[in-house]
Chains A and B, each alone.
Chain A
């Protein structure tokens, strides 16, 4: 619950900064590439221009065979005044059509009259291509560009001007620009982190409040959220408040309904009790008034006393059942299935073994714990019902087992079964198909099972018998609290 906003408040600025810096870096690299291309073209242009300048002044001294004048012209064209000097210049020369030096900026290394390089030089093929050039051109090499221009006089090529410029400056400028882009990207990332952090704090605070309020709402505490914004999050808070208010209303309504139902159920039970008591009561009062009128008729006494006793017994049974329900309702005793042996003994004593075959199949272990008094009452009621459903005998099966963390209690008989239209009513209080029944037995079973968090299923067909299955969650052993 706390980890989600924490990680979001980091993720959000991180993602933002990554996106921002990636965008900045991408744009930077694209611009860098364009810039480098432009600088490269500019450098190429400068190289060709210098070569053309040299080629333009070369013909006269070349034709005159004046290497000194040619050297001075070359020096003048490429060195020139200090301000206009080409800083990237590596070398400049004028060659004759055979590749021999007519003038070179470094005469010591490249003496006039000698070939500028040997045929085994790696640059030889390029030199041949350059010597074949009929128009000014640029040749690119490793770390330099070479501008060449043929020296032409009267339409004849009498030599080649060759100027080599370094791309070092270019590389330096690119490196400097790359550094700028990198710094910019890092700066953007930092700004992205700061903005993202601020943004996420601003965005996540109401979300966190909302989350806490939702958590509280789940526990029945409703605090309306402060609505301080008009955006989606503000809308969310408004919606939450509305929803929470509705939930709160519904909950209140539900508790009111439940209270009403309790009162109603109580009323129904009271009415049932009154009705159940009233029936025998009327008979008994009738008997009493007849006996009072015919005091001296012993035959009447002999006839009426059993009737009165029967009525009183019925009332006694009703009261006993109600008392059982009240007594067991608050029971808390957690035990294992050993306590159910009492129930078996009780039922064994009540049945005629010649008529009814009672099978007891207990597969629960010592760790399968449950609420003992409640379960005893449930099982007793079900078993008694089953016995009464088999007045002509049959087979009674009680099986206790565990299914995962659920305890399953099954009571199966081979009695007359329950009519289909009665199935939906058998758990209603005071519903009974037997004249002597109180109609409270199954009602008590259902109430107790529900109070244990369990359920009751019934599977019955008339003439074939009935099977009740009670499922309750297994109880955890009570660990004694240290004193």
Chain B
């Protein structure tokens, strides 16, 4: 009798402790992945944005910088991240696997669209993409739309072999560093995210001032913010509301202003159909 009571007590205690653990897991910070799609240099801005979002959703939000898109995507799949701001290329590539969903798209200069900028050094004699033949070209990363897929697609469309066109290529894993590589003349040319270039041109023109845009690509759906499929529906809704409502309060507007974005909007996955066309590996 005493044993059975003791056993019950032990089981009860164990159940209590596991409950407590579950509760603490649920109350832990929401991990929000960031990638090369955004400018990662202004840490202070992301801290304040995380704080803002945390207050809106009722749980602390933590932005986590990830070096590659693949890393960010995989961490969504494993469940380590609940949300992520990824490039439109991995979005288009993995959206059919359904382990994440489209939550919001930033509106940049009035539209949820962006494009690739082909840049060279401001003193470079190069005027056209074709003139970069035999030169050094900087890519962002293999899973980047504007930083890899778009220029290769453009070369392919022009009848060139993207693998042989340049003398040498390298990856910087950051649009900002790609711009820097051109500004330092390590690379003769590069293709970068128009949002990152414009952001830097407004916030830190030191680098972009040394670069010149020689060509702009067609528009693509802006790198979207996605949620993990298994996430609590209420949390997802709160996060979506928080993002979409940012332009409704002054603090949110100030943050958007710093991000050089108009607002966040809901969008249809079809926005990224253009990106999907680049999925054909050239």
Chain A interface residues toward B at CB < 8 A: 65-68, 71, 103, 107-108, 111-113
Given contacts A68-B181, A107-B186, A113-B168, 19 further A-B contacts (CB under 8 A): A65-B170, A66-B170, A66-B171, A67-B136, A67-B168, A67-B170, A68-B138, A68-B186, A68-B187, A71-B184, A103-B186, A107-B184, A107-B185, A108-B121, A108-B185, A111-B188, A112-B136, A112-B168, A112-B186
- B121: which A residues are within 8 A, CB to CB? 108
Residue of B nearest to A104 (CB): B186
List CB contacts (< 8 Å) of B169-187 with chain A.
170-172, 177, 181, 184-187
Report if A71-B136 is in contact (Cβ < 8 Å); known contacts: A66-B170, A113-B167: no
Top-6 shortest CB links A-B = A108-B185, A107-B186, A113-B168, A107-B185, A67-B170, A68-B172
Q: In the bound complex, do residue A68 and residue B171 qualify as a contact, i.e. CB atoms below 8 Å apart?
A: yes
List CB contacts (< 8 Å) of B146-199 with chain A.
167-168, 170-172, 177, 181, 184-188
- A103: which B residues are within 8 A, CB to CB? 186
Q: In the bound complex, do residue A68 and residue B188 qualify as a contact, i.e. CB atoms below 8 Å apart?
A: no
- B172: which A residues are within 8 A, CB to CB? 68
Chain B interface residues toward A at CB < 8 A: 121, 135-136, 138, 167-168, 170-172, 177, 181, 184-188
Q: In the bound complex, do residue B168 and residue A71 qualify as a contact, i.e. CB atoms below 8 Å apart?
A: no
Query: What is the CA–CA distance of A113 and B187 in the complex, to the nearest angstrom?
Result: 11
Interface of A is mostly: loop
- A113: which B residues are within 8 A, CB to CB? 136, 167-168
- B184: which A residues are within 8 A, CB to CB? 71, 107
Residue of B nearest to A105 (CB): B184
Least CB distance, B81 to chain A, in whole angstroms: 26
Least CB distance, A14 to chain B, in whole angstroms: 64
Query: What is the CA–CA distance of A111 and B187 in the complex, to the nearest angstrom?
Result: 8
Least CB distance, B126 to chain A, in whole angstroms: 13
Q: In the bound complex, do residue B181 and residue A111 qualify as a contact, i.e. CB atoms below 8 Å apart?
A: no
Which listed residue, A68, A111, A112, touches B177 by the CB 8 Å rule?
Answer: A68
- A65: which B residues are within 8 A, CB to CB? 170
Interface centre among A66, A67, A68 (most CB of B within 10 A): A68
Could you pull out 27 A-B pairs where Cβ atoms are within 8 angstroms? A65-B170, A66-B171, A67-B136, A67-B170, A67-B186, A68-B138, A68-B172, A68-B177, A68-B186, A68-B187, A71-B181, A71-B184, A71-B186, A103-B186, A107-B184, A107-B185, A108-B121, A108-B185, A111-B135, A111-B136, A111-B188, A112-B136, A112-B168, A112-B186, A113-B136, A113-B167, A113-B168
- B185: which A residues are within 8 A, CB to CB? 107-108
Query: What is the CA–CA distance of A103 and B170 in the complex, to the nearest angstrom?
Result: 12
Least CB distance, A454 to chain B, in whole angstroms: 112
Residue of A nearest to B188 (CB): A111
Residue of A nearest to B139 (CB): A68
Query: What is the CA–CA distance of A466 and B186 in the complex, to the nearest angstrom?
Result: 127
Query: What is the CA–CA distance of A71 and B182 in the complex, to the nearest angstrom?
Result: 12
Which listed residue, A68, A108, A111, touches B170 by the CB 8 Å rule?
Answer: A68
Least CB distance, B140 to chain A, in whole angstroms: 11
Least CB distance, B97 to chain A, in whole angstroms: 30
Least CB distance, B131 to chain A, in whole angstroms: 15
Residue of A nearest to B172 (CB): A68
